[in-house]
Structure 1
Amino acid sequence: MNTVTRSQAMPWVLIICGSLIAMITFGPRSAMGFFAHPLLQDSNLAATHWTRETFGLTLAIQNLFWGLGQPFFGAMGDKYGTAKVLMASAALYAAGLLLMAYPLIASNPESALLLHLGGGVLCGLGVAAGSFSVILSSFARNVTPAQRSMAFGIATAAGSAGMMVFAPLTVGLIASVGWQGALIFMAGLMALIPFLAIALRGNSSSGTQSAVQFQQTAGQAMREALGHKSYLLLTSGFFVCGFQVAFITAHFPAYLLDIGIPAWVGGVAMLLIGGFNIIGSLAAGYIGQRYSKPWFLALIYIGRSIAVTLFLVLPITPVSVIIFAAVMGLLWLSTVPPTNGLVAIMFGTRHLGLLGGIVFLSHQIGSFLGVWLGGYLFVHFGTYDPVWWIGVALGIFAAIVHIPIKEAIVPGRPALAPAE
């Protein structure tokens, strides 16, 4: 049997192309919060009587379908090839953004059906097909275990760079060509994905790591994972990550405007979250390769709760917003490399797209609740404070459940056999 040594060179073409795709797919959805005010204040939509709850529900649906699509598209990538799934991502995402740009049904101007379908269902499925679980599973099949955490960190940092780029870009586009023009521009960018996806062709039976993968059907892999305590704890903890980051992504710009913070501060804050997220993601890749991933994740979650608590109890000023954004940026997607790394350690990479997708489904259920509750509770209480404090409590819960997770292959597995 041919084995892959530690000295194998990093497949940089694949990693660069995959990272650019992550940037393109993650960037627009991370900037969706900037569309709330201009869309809801558009005079052409005045007859709809839509509220922030309406827009929040669209983003909540987007996050939910992102999660629901992850296991499916992950499994399709494992079986039929990552490139084909990424091409589907481009088509779904572009269609969703275009439909979101023209959300009215003439016969019923109060209906938000097209807004929910475009910005919610189609954009959510587009992100699912081009997101971390699909891209990272391709990376995992082509790098050694010693390189895996760093490769995951690079891809996650690229997603963060997308956030950093698209925050000011979206603000500028909305100011210059309007919110509809900004959505159309983003839809056009999706045409780049099929060309970049060529470098990620191949499925779970290809790649440099295929010779050392455990032979197992998708059904067997799911049953094994759902019966493993550490996997279930990891999945429950990732729910919290989704709740926290999706709420901030969707509602933070509007929250700042509500309390009198200038709009430019919100743009700078989202830019800083993306910028410091790059540092945090790369650091997470480095730390996760050398130290306990469960304990590292516990520290990230408790750090988020501390940061939010201090932000809320201290006076909120432009300076405090900028400091908060920088701290949260360091902790933002730093959960992704160690979380996916733990799944790969427990179960290998043969069904990483599927099993990582299930973990991410939990993340997106949390995202759905974070985004929807943000809009719902704001409409009913006139403040976002209850959702902030729910996020603090959930962060403490996540820190606790990660501590007992075992960073080891699932017990009882037979010796590894060559993959088919």
Structure 2
Amino acid sequence: MGRSLWVIIVSAGVILGIVAGIRQGFGLFLLPMSTDYGLSREAFAFAMGLQNLIWGFGAPVAGAIADRYGPRLVAAAGIVFYVAGVVVMAADWGGAQMLSSGVLLGIGMSGAGFSVVLSAVGRAAPPEHRAKALALASFGGSIGQFMALPYTHILISEIGWVTALLILGATSMLAVPLAMGLGRRVMPAPTAPGTVRLGLAASLAEAARDRSFLLLTTGFFVCGFQLAFIMVHLPPYLGDKGMAPWLGAAALTLVGVCNIAGTLACGWLGQRFEKRLVLTWLYLVRTVLLTGFMLVPVSETSVLIFAAGMGFTWLPTIPLTNGLVAQIFGPTYLSTLFGVVFLSHQLGGFVGPWVGGLVYDWTGSYDSVWWASAALGLVAALLHWPIDERGVRRAGPAPQRA
């Protein structure tokens, strides 16, 4: 891999490490904010879900702009919105700040999140190195989660959650200049003789007719549901079980540590085996872990084992899914097409935390949502198994598999 590609990989990795890492720790604010402002868990969870929803709907739009004009300014603008969302969360607006923060964070992550930043890597990397390059960039997000969670926990413990949010906003501003390292728009290579190059609208229509694209999109909903529910509700769930506050932060930190190994390992596996098979096994492993977590009595040991296992499967789904979209449809409109797939992920990211908070407020328990998350993991595994990884061949108006 050349030096210019390494610059893009490192820039993307650090950006994801900052914005995705800090975002992973928002669940640590649920209990103190609920206590100080008298918010219900459903209200906090709805705001976090709204963030995911807006991120999802904004991802294809931001992706289309990045495909047309390049990812630099899109990512930089996204980071600025993200910072505003973190700072607004600290305001005392009687709960309205949570909805405002969710909107700003969602817009920010649309531009500075995986669909734009990872796609900049996937577009720049040659096919033989794409899986490895995407894994290395995602590795930055794992490092960020590992570092940001204890950082956030210490800030909340030592100086209070309001000042902690302001410092996290200032920290996020460090990502703005890194957006310039994402590279300019890479022009597509000339098409082979006898094939046609599709425009954006035609590419979207082509994907909408593609069975594998629909399976991949539907399955990604489950990933968003599981991750967002765990990220927001694991700390308060452990508190309800009588566990010490440090355990929630430690569990999410361990998720980040093990995600480092999982991302690198799955990047290696994605180079050597079909990505659909790697994804199938990742969702099956999640199903086993979630089922076991519900069957075994909650203890420090069981929580840390669960966190380690989930960490191994946490982010690898994203570069593998991005790589599949690039492999099937090519890199020309990768940001847009992955943005559409990612919308499904974020719909799950809205439903997961919101339903978790809603069910808790109704029943006083998260158990049914944990079981639903395990069942959805099995559904996702079954959806990924029949995906056809072969790229489309465009020999005319109706693309066919090669």
CA distances 1:185-224 after superposition (whole Å, capped 9, x unpaired): 111123222211111131242xxx6456973221111101
**Residue aligning to 2:333:** 351
**Residue aligning to 1:39:** 33
Does the CA contact (< 8 Å) of 2:115 and 2:338 recur in 1? yes
**Residue aligning to 2:57:** 68
Q: Separation in 2 of the partners of 1:360 and 1:93? A: 18
Q: Separation in 2 of the partners of 1:414 and 1:182? A: 56
Q: 1:14 aligns with which of 8, 16, 39?
A: 8
Partner SS for 1:141 = helix
Partner SS for 2:33 = helix
Q: Separation in 2 of the partners of 1:85 and 1:399? A: 33
**Residue aligning to 2:99:** 116
Q: Does residue 253 of structure 1 match 2:242?
A: no
Q: Separation in 1 of the partners of 2:395 and 2:348? A: 32
**Residue aligning to 1:27:** 21
Q: Which runs of 5+ in 2 are unaligned?
A: 398-402
Partner SS for 1:41 = helix
**Residue aligning to 1:51:** 40
Q: Does residue 328 of structure 1 match 2:317?
A: no
Does the CA contact (< 8 Å) of 2:224 and 2:352 recur in 1? yes
Q: Separation in 2 of the partners of 1:323 and 1:99? A: 35
Map of 1:10-409 to 2, 5 A cutoff? 11-42=5-36, 45=37, 49-104=38-93, 109=94, 112-118=95-101, 120-205=102-187, 210-211=189-190, 215-409=197-391
Q: Separation in 1 of the partners of 2:335 and 2:151? A: 31
Partner AA of 2:27 in structure 1 = G
Q: Separation in 1 of the partners of 2:258 and 2:251? A: 10
Q: Separation in 2 of the partners of 1:36 and 1:14? A: 35
Q: Separation in 1 of the partners of 2:393 and 2:185? A: 26
Q: Separation in 2 of the partners of 1:284 and 1:378? A: 34
Partner AA of 1:362 in structure 2 = S
TM-score norm. by structure 2 comes to 0.95
Does the CA contact (< 8 Å) of 1:173 and 1:179 recur in 2? yes
Q: Separation in 1 of the partners of 2:383 and 2:129? A: 27
Q: Separation in 1 of the partners of 2:255 and 2:107? A: 24
Runs of 4 or more above 6 Å deviation:
none
Q: 1:200 to 1:183 in 2, by over 3 A?
A: same
Deviation at 1:25, TM superposition (A): 1.1
Partner SS for 2:143 = helix
Partner AA of 1:293 in structure 2 = K
**Residue aligning to 2:400:** none
Does the CA contact (< 8 Å) of 2:25 and 2:231 recur in 1? yes
Deviation at 1:291, TM superposition (A): 0.1
Deviation at 1:251, TM superposition (A): 0.5
Does the CA contact (< 8 Å) of 1:243 and 1:371 recur in 2? yes
Q: Separation in 2 of the partners of 1:136 and 1:127? A: 12
Q: 1:212 to 1:29 in 2, by over 3 A?
A: farther
Q: Separation in 2 of the partners of 1:266 and 1:288? A: 31
Deviation at 1:8, TM superposition (A): 5.4
Does the CA contact (< 8 Å) of 1:288 and 1:337 recur in 2? no
Deviation at 1:33, TM superposition (A): 0.2
Deviation at 1:157, TM superposition (A): 1.7
Q: Which runs of 5+ in 1 are unaligned?
A: 1-6, 416-420
Q: 1:252 to 1:212 in 2, by over 3 A?
A: farther
Q: 1:413 to 1:228 in 2, by over 3 A?
A: farther
Q: Separation in 1 of the partners of 2:164 and 2:263? A: 28
CA distances 1:242-292 after superposition (whole Å, capped 9, x unpaired): 000110001001110110111111111111100100111111111011101
Does the CA contact (< 8 Å) of 1:79 and 1:204 recur in 2? no
Partner SS for 2:147 = helix
Deviation at 1:128, TM superposition (A): 1.7
